[in-house]
Amino acid sequence: MKITPKDGIVVVTGAGSGLGRAMARQFCAAGFSVVGMGRQAETLAETGAGLDRFHPVVLDVSDGGAVTREFSRLRDGVGPVAVLVNNAAVYPRKDFLSETGDSFMQTVNTNLGGTVHCTRAALEGMVQTGRGRILNVATFADVAPLPTASAYAVSKGAARIFTRAVVADLADRFPGIVMSDWMPGMLATKMGIADGLDPEVTAAWGVQLALSCDRSLTGSVFEMDREVLEPRGLKSRLKDVILMRRKRARRVSEI
């Protein structure tokens, strides 16, 4: 089942540059009205250049009150939120001894807090209709943290736990609201690496994934264009062999 422009608008956080910009523009190209959120009006204007369906919103997603007010305004004035892409993140690249408790928590407040605030606000409308799509842009930073990435690794790892926790709370009651994680890979952006993936290419995967409202995607994790299956114990693997069954990782192109 696919989300269509008739279902409502798309909200992309961190839409002022990089992956968020690429995804916002591709959603517009697919016929959706897109609300792009970011902290700088200038970069959002660059994202929306030449796009009639792009609506820039200058917003700090770490400000929970401002997020709640903005989503309420969108529901009343623009339309229901059908898709939320939680993409906004900061990566300050600080050694832990260069951090203070406050600077560390500023990163957490954006990377985790922003995801929490936007998800909670978007769900206000989604639970009324019983349908919606939330895609959280994630990383494996919590599994193997890099040097100078303590705050980033903790906040992004906690955001992955947040996805699973919300799914545990809502999946049974609201099966039509699909929430999952997507790891786009190392990108050629300011937060990424010089020889990383083209954000335009990865954005196409993310957009396709975000527009699929198949209930089987609830709680799933995709890396680039391929599903990441949960590790299975030896007993489960032997049972699969005996019963001649094998769960296959899906491709984005197949959903």
Other Cβ atoms closer than 10 A to 201: 15
Strand partners, 11: 35, 84
- State the Cα–Cα distance between residues 198 and 184, nearest whole angstrom: 10
Is 39 strand, coil or helix? coil
Strand partners, 12: 36, 85
Containing H/E element for 135? Answer: strand 132-137
Which residue in 71, 152, 182, 205 is the catalytic one?
A: 152
- State the Cα–Cα distance between residues 51 and 151, nearest whole angstrom: 35
Q: How many CA atoms lie within 13 A of 180 on its CB side?
A: 26
Is 91 one of the catalytic residues? no
Q: Which residues are designated catalytic?
A: 152
